[in-house]
Amino acid sequence: MNLWIVLQVFVLILGLCLGSFLNVCIARMPDDRSVVSPPSHCPHCGSGIAWYDNIPILSWLLLRARCRSCGNGIAATYPLIEAATGLLVLLCWRQAIPGVEALDAAHIALFAYHATFVCMLVALTFIDLDHYIIPDEFSIYAVPVGVLGALGIGLLAPELAPSWKQALVGALVGGGFLLAVAGVYWLIRREEGIGLGDVKLLAMIGSFLGAFPALFLVMLLSSIIGSIVGIGHIVLRGRGLRTAIPFGPFLALGALVTLFFGDVLVRLLLLGLPGVMS
Ligand SMILES: [Zn+2]
């Protein structure tokens, strides 16, 4: 086994553990409970979870999705969130660090920057799905993290990430654009079409990905995915029903696709554009 593979296995395990922590954030943050204390416990019987019953994915499988103390079911979303976070963090590593020769402070900082971004997107997606809220910790409070991260990476290797100025413009354009849409919607319909949570979230996404072309792609992708899911939701549930689907998860999904495939998509769009114009 060479060092490069060992490192990637280590990064995957790190991602699984981060996913396990995100499960705690998802369960506790909407109620403003601390994510550090008390330690993990069963939501049904309240008994503490020993370290050997708290190993990502593995414990859930070994316990056959049941609490050791009370036998109540443990939702499959726990291991799924761990697996998804593990794979996404590994993807961040592979994208930020193309090979062992690129293993320097700048590339590792870029990995940490993107992994932070991805973890927040995973957590807020599931919080928004369950509670229709996006915590400020993962949206507006994270904007300085996005801008300062871009500044730090820019000092180490300016070619790796959008500059801190682009990050700042991204936050302003992202937040400003959705705020304007929300304002127009309110003027026409006199009701809240886009929540302030989504406005703050797009500001955060802009601060990590920069304004152009990333924000354009995020909006395009999230609108397309959101429309497809929204139409499916109406068809399946019957018409006349007020469809309340949170928009945050679509913005998060659009941001993930843009982070990993943005360059390819922009190239495809630019290739397709002359054909559309003619
Ligand atoms: Zn229990």
Average pLDDT over residues 197-216: 95
Give 276's pLDDT tier (boundaries 50, 70, 90).
Answer: low
pLDDT value at position 231? Answer: 85
- Which of 106-120, 170-184, 190-204 has the highest average model confidence (pLDDT)? 106-120
Say if residues 156 and 105 touch (Cβ distance below 8 Å).
Answer: yes
Q: Rounded to the nearest whole angstrom, what is the distance from the C-alpha of residue 127 to the centroid of ligand 1?
A: 22
Residue for token pair 């991805």: 118
Say if residues 113 and 153 touch (Cβ distance below 8 Å).
Answer: yes
Average pLDDT over residues 30-34: 93
Q: Could you tell me which of 122, 104, 114 has the C-alpha nearest to residue 16? A: 122
pLDDT at position 1 over 80: no
Helical segments of 132-247, H only: 143-156, 164-189, 196-209, 214-237
Distance CA 251, CA 121 (A): 9
Average pLDDT over residues 108-126: 97
Does residue 48 sit in helix, strand or coil? strand
Residue for token pair 């180490």: 156
Q: Rounded to the nearest whole angstrom, what is the distance from the C-alpha of residue 71 to the centroid of ligand 1?
A: 6
Percent of the chain's residues with pLDDT above 90: 77
Q: pLDDT tens across 71-92, in order? A: 999 999 999 999 999 999 999 9
Does residue 235 or residue 251 have the better pLDDT? 251
pLDDT value at position 190? Answer: 83
Does residue 241 or residue 227 have the better pLDDT? 227
Measure Cα distances from 10 to 89, 133, 210 in Å.
11, 33, 30
Does residue 73 sit in helix, strand or coil? strand
Q: Rounded to the nearest whole angstrom, what is the distance from the C-alpha of residue 51 to the centroid of ligand 1?
A: 15
| Size of the chain, expressed as the number of residues it contains | 278
Q: Rounded to the nearest whole angstrom, what is the distance from the C-alpha of residue 50 to the centroid of ligand 1?
A: 12
Distance CA 199, CA 165 (A): 20
Q: Rounded to the nearest whole angstrom, what is the distance from the C-alpha of residue 44 to the centroid of ligand 1?
A: 5
Half-sphere exposure of 175 (CA within 13 A, CB side): 18
Q: Could you tell me which of 65, 121, 128, 118 has the C-alpha nearest to residue 96? A: 118
pLDDT value at position 240? Answer: 55
Contacts of 40 (CB under 8 A, 6+ apart): 24, 48, 49, 54
Q: Rounded to the nearest whole angstrom, what is the distance from the C-alpha of residue 245 to the centroid of ligand 1?
A: 31
Q: Rounded to the nearest whole angstrom, what is the distance from the C-alpha of residue 256 to the centroid of ligand 1?
A: 34
Distance CA 183, CA 162 (A): 29
pLDDT value at position 218? Answer: 96
Q: Rounded to the nearest whole angstrom, what is the distance from the C-alpha of residue 249 to the centroid of ligand 1?
A: 30
pLDDT at position 94 over 60: yes
Measure Cα distances from 100 to 2, 10, 12, 96, 124 in Å.
10, 14, 16, 11, 33
pLDDT value at position 141? Answer: 97
pLDDT value at position 208? Answer: 97
Average pLDDT over residues 18-47: 93
Mean pLDDT value across the chain: 92
pLDDT at position 186 over 90: no
pLDDT at position 256 over 90: yes
pLDDT at position 17 over 90: yes
pLDDT value at position 242? Answer: 56
Q: pLDDT tens across 139-179, in order? A: 999 999 999 999 999 999 999 989 999 999 999 999 998 89
Distance CA 6, CA 103 (A): 14
Q: Rounded to the nearest whole angstrom, what is the distance from the C-alpha of residue 35 to the centroid of ligand 1?
A: 19
pLDDT value at position 238? Answer: 67
The amino acid at 230:
G
Distance between first and last Cα of the chain: 54
Give 278's pLDDT tier (boundaries 50, 70, 90).
Answer: low
Give the number of other CB atoms < 10 A from CB of residue 216. 16
